[in-house]
Amino acid sequence: MQSKYPNRKAVEKIQQSNRILLVTHIKPDGDAVGSLLGLGLALQESGRQVQMVIEDGIPLSLRRLTGSDQIRKKAEGEFDLVIVVDCSDLGRVGKALDGKPAPDINIDHHITNEEFAELNLVDAHAVATAEIIYALLNDLELSLTPPVAAALLTGLITDTLGFRTSNVRPETFYLVARLMETSVDLPELYRRALVSRSFEAVKFWSFGLAKLEQADRLVWTSLTMNDRRAANYPGRDDADLINVLSSIDEMDVSMIFVEQPNGNIKVSWRAQPGFDVAVVAKEFGGGGHAAAAGAEIPGAMQEVQDKALERTRLALTGGRHV
Ligand code: AMP
Ligand code: MN
Ligand code: MN
């Protein structure tokens, strides 16, 4: 498959480098980890030293991907190339790059990407960062091993919610077919990425579902630190409850408010095609895609809910452009 990305400069830079640092966003999802591992393992195969860093480490559900045990929480040593994957802005990497050189290459697919690196491989039409990584590996003429293919497929499966998002195109399936040819187990990767969940996760949902509200085609709920403790749920995220909310027929936009250990409120938005919640998230210092966006907002739960709901309602009713 011929690459459509302007990767020549990135290829040159990578070919001239030997000690490469790869980082991705805090609270990593399947695309963050899959893109990091897909690129990292392929570069290691080519004989380069690669360090892969995620400030938060990696969630249990992704630990069966080959190479995940190499991912560390802090970068150590010197590097001649720094690559950031699946991050719309540098704040999203947390402290992973503290004391390290500014990023050389930024590989991402968020519409809100701030093009913060010297070289920016950003394509908002890509369904996942893993799609851009695949094209780059192709241009680098690196071999597609089963662990690399499994990592990239995990990225594609998670960010498309199992090929259900409106940005999925015929090319997505050509890419999936090419990755499957390495004999990776697609149903098993799919099950691990999207289907299997812990008892504690579903118990955590029950607290959010009990508080579910709706008004004007907007559906929302909240999860507090108390809910988290009561459910014994270990993550700082919403355990994917937002995807249950966005399956509700009566909604154009769904939102979830998740209290964080630092007192901030993490807000997630999901929208039906035709709405753009990235614009709203960006106003609150976050970002994302038209159909899925997030922001971490300081303030008390009720205050953040009032502000974010009001702004989102305005966007929904066309009071401001979306
Ligand atoms: P989430 O609601 O966390 O699943 O995120 C939905 C989308 O928004 C993902 O593409 C995230 O990368 C992006 N996103 C979430 N939180 C932030 C943030 N604080 N800043 C920028 N982008 C974000
Ligand atoms: Mn991501
Ligand atoms: Mn992504």
Tens-place pLDDT, residues 299-309: 999 999 999 99
pLDDT at 6: 61
Average of per-residue pLDDT values in the chain? 94
Cα 246 from Cα 293, distance rounded (Å): 13
Cα 23 from Cα 167, distance rounded (Å): 25
pLDDT bracket for residue 52 (50, 70, 90): very high
Class of domain 7-194: alpha beta
State how beta strands 81-85 and 19-23 pair: parallel
Which residue's CA lies nearest to atom 12 of ligand 1? 288
pLDDT at 1: 39
Pocket probe for ligand 1: among 127, 167, 289, the residue whose CB has the most ligand atoms within 8 Å is 289
269 alpha carbon – ligand 2 mean position (Å): 14
pLDDT at residue 41 above 80? Answer: yes
172 lines ligand 1 (CB under 6 A): no
Q: Taking the CB of residue 239, how many other CB atoms lie within 10 A of it? A: 23
Entry pTM: 0.94
32 alpha carbon – ligand 2 mean position (Å): 5
pLDDT at residue 172 above 90? Answer: yes
pLDDT at 5: 59
Which residue's CA lies nearest to atom 7 of ligand 1? 293
Tokens 């498959």 belong to which residue?
A: 1
Which residue's CA lies nearest to atom 13 of ligand 1? 288
Pocket probe for ligand 1: among 112, 223, 241, 268, the residue whose CB has the most ligand atoms within 8 Å is 268
pLDDT at 220: 98
pLDDT digits (tens, 9 = 90+) for 57-106: 999 889 999 999 999 999 999 999 999 999 999 999 999 999 888 999 99
Cα 220 from Cα 57, distance rounded (Å): 29
pLDDT at 7: 86
Which range, of 3-7, 22-26, 141-145, 150-154, averages the lowest pLDDT? 3-7
Tokens 């293919």 belong to which residue?
A: 149
Cα 230 from Cα 28, distance rounded (Å): 24
pLDDT bracket for residue 311 (50, 70, 90): very high
148-162 mean pLDDT:
98
Q: Tell me which residue of 92, 83, 137 sits closest to 110, measured CA to CA.
A: 92
Answer positive or negative: Cα dihedral of 58, 63, 65, 71.
positive
Domain ranges, ordered by start, for the chain: 7-194, 199-317
Tell me the angle at which helices 129-139 and 8-15 cross, rounded to the nearest 10 degrees.
Answer: 70
Which residue's CA lies nearest to atom 20 of ligand 1? 286
pLDDT at 282: 96
Which residue's CA lies nearest to atom 6 of ligand 1? 293
Give the torsion through C-alpha atoms of 313, 317, 318, 322, to 10 deg: 50
Name, in order, each residue with C-beta under 8 angstroms of 3's C-beta and a sequence gap of 6 or more: 135, 136, 138, 139
pLDDT at 322: 42
Cβ-contact 35, 157 below 8 angstroms: no
pLDDT at 174: 97
258-278 mean pLDDT:
96
pLDDT at 4: 54
Q: Which atom of ligand 1 is nearest to the CA of 25?
A: 12
CATH 3.40.50.620 fits 199-317, yes or no: no
260 alpha carbon – ligand 3 mean position (Å): 22
Which residue's CA lies nearest to atom 16 of ligand 1? 294
Q: What percent of the chain has pLDDT over 70?
A: 97
